[in-house]
Amino acid sequence: MQPHHHALISLCATVVALALSGCGTADSPGVGSDSDGSSTGAATDGPTGTSGVTEGGPASCGDGVQDAGEECDDGAANGADRPCTPNCTKVACGDGFQGPGEGCDDGNANDDDACTSACQAPGCGDGVVSVGEACDDNNTDNSDGCLNSCQLASCGDGYVYSGIEPCDDGNDDNSDACLDTCEVAKCGDGILQEVVEVCDDGDKDNGDACLNNCQAARCGDGFVQEGAEACDDGNEIDNDGCKNDCSSPASCIDGEQNGGESDVDCGGLHCFGCLDAQACDKDADCMSSYCHEGQCLSPRHCRDIRDLELETDDGVYDIDPDGQDGPLPPAQVFCEMTFNGGGWQAVYNMMDKPIGEAAAQAMLDSLMANGPAAPVLPGSDSPAVLTDGLVLADFTEVVFGWAPTSGSDVARYGRLEAPGGLAGVCYLDGYCGPGIEVGEFDIVPNGSTRTLRTGDADDFPHVGLGYDAQIMLWGYDRQASIFSNWANWNDGGMCCKAGNVEAIEVPGWRYTIYVR
């Protein structure tokens, strides 16, 4: 029986060995078991053994039955790339198994390696800043701080960083609309923008070669370019304050009509008045102070002022008796423009007429003298007959008048007309002596005509104009009426009363001589 004894011992040893090999935790990793705990096969080195048991899982993991402690168990379908891992756990990012939907799974939460904590291979736009990325904002907006390339937004990247950059054209060309500083090109930035700007010197000086509007300075732009222009008034008018070539300001001696001149080097605000026959726009342009129909002229007497309609009121006006080319100087005279058609020039006025031979002598003295042309005002006393400097041949009428007041027109007068001119007429052209015929006068208001002569000194004094044994009509008569010795053109009375009416007693009347 010995052989059987050895055989039995060998069988017992085998059973004991098998029993010992089954000792330990029921679900040891890498060992699968049935529900009754019996062994289903040996453990494998791969994620899944031939029997479906996963190394490291519960003893029953891989048997297709989800036991306690198992999240899942798909049996042979368990796998590292399956919904149920070899450990009978549901696939999850970070479990070390690359399951469905995962690009990778390295079992850690480190985003700096080849697999992100989201179990995806690192990539721009995944919201995770990985190796080689400066940023990752997980959007496609290139106008924020992180571009789609996962690089930080910066000037020159070709994308406008909203709120930070006005422009970004992605180039370093400063001649276009966007500078390399990502600022919009503009006039005055010191950088020439092609097509748009002619120049850009970056300053605000309009006196250099480049204006503030980035256009090249030129004559006529209204700015004086230092060293190149003497003036620049910004217009194309050559006769104003600056010539069109900007070479020099207009002047009154440059031989050109400019600077506001009405004619060459005369008129306007800055030059002397123009001479007769030169162009004018207004009276002030003329040396004579008269501009008529676009030309300067000098009236030679008050009749010219009336005929040319230069003035209409009584007053003191400028005349030039022989014109600007003649030797006689211009003069101011009083023109009577409202009496008998106007255009009369006053050459004598006498207000001081008290009774007495001394007053008569003073009047005679003034009538015997001639003085230079000057204003003869209605309320004045002339020292002489003011005809010196007048061309008496240009005058054809004279009135020796009497006015009731200093401010009124002549009411009574004698008028002498001389078609050949007044040259040589007594009193006007010098005193001719006593008792000398002066001429034939029409007497107003009587309507008579008489040949009158100067007063006769035989019966001193007879002053002025009279007739027939020294009956005075204008002046002083020693043989006058009881009212006065002064006459006022009364030609209607009998002997020795001629020339006097009651009005002669009213104070304030005057004698005057007008020529026209």
What's the token pair of residue 49? 């053994």
pLDDT above 60: residue 20: no
User: 244-270 pLDDT, tens per residue?
Assistant: 889 887 889 989 888 889 999 999 988
* Interatomic CA distance for residues 231 and 237, integer angstroms: 13
H/E stretch holding 450 reads strand 449-454
What mean pLDDT value characterizes the chain? 84
Please check whether residue 53 is in contact with residue 41, taking contact to mean a CB–CB distance below 8 angstroms: yes
What's the token pair of residue 159? 């994308």
User: 308-358 pLDDT, tens per residue?
Assistant: 999 999 999 999 999 888 898 999 999 999 999 999 999 999 998 877 788
So what's the pLDDT on residue 498?
64
Residues 6+ apart with CB under 8 A from 135: 129, 145, 146, 150, 151, 152
What's the token pair of residue 42? 């040996």
Query: Using 50, 70 and 90 to split pLDDT, how confident is the model at 497?
Result: low
pLDDT above 90: residue 359: no
Percentage, residues of the chain above pLDDT 90: 58
* Interatomic CA distance for residues 366 and 402, integer angstroms: 17
Query: Using 50, 70 and 90 to split pLDDT, how confident is the model at 502?
Result: confident
Mean pLDDT of 156-177: 94
User: 459-476 pLDDT, tens per residue?
Assistant: 557 899 998 766 889 998
Please check whether residue 470 is in contact with residue 437, taking contact to mean a CB–CB distance below 8 angstroms: no
Largest CA distance in the chain: 222
Cis peptide before 330, with omega less than 30 degrees from 0?
no
Residues 6+ apart with CB under 8 A from 362: 352
Rg over CA atoms, the chain: 66
* Interatomic CA distance for residues 138 and 157, integer angstroms: 19
Please measure the distance between the N-terminal and C-terminal CA atoms of the chain and give it in whole angstroms.
194
Please check whether residue 481 is in contact with residue 497, taking contact to mean a CB–CB distance below 8 angstroms: yes
H/E stretch holding 317 reads strand 315-319
Give the CA distances from residue 428 to residues 32, 212, 368, 405, 475, in Å, rounded to whole numbers and listed in that order: 162, 73, 9, 24, 15
Report the SS3 class of residue 16: helix
Q: Would you call 502 exposed, middle or buried from its count of C-beta atoms within 10 A (0-12, 13-18, 19+)?
A: exposed
Altogether, the residues listed in the chain come to a count of: 516
User: 427-436 pLDDT, tens per residue?
Assistant: 999 999 999 9
Report the SS3 class of residue 170: coil
What does DSSP say about strands 370-372 and 385-388: parallel, antiparallel, or unpaired?
A: parallel
pLDDT above 50: residue 101: yes
So what's the pLDDT on residue 505?
77
SS3 content of the chain, % helix, strand, coil (to 5): 10, 20, 70
Query: Using 50, 70 and 90 to split pLDDT, how confident is the model at 144?
Result: very high
Amino acid at the residue 210: C
Within the chain, how many helices (H) and strands (E) appear?
Answer: 3, 15
Residues 6+ apart with CB under 8 A from 382: 347, 348, 349, 350, 366, 371, 376
Mean pLDDT of 79-92: 91
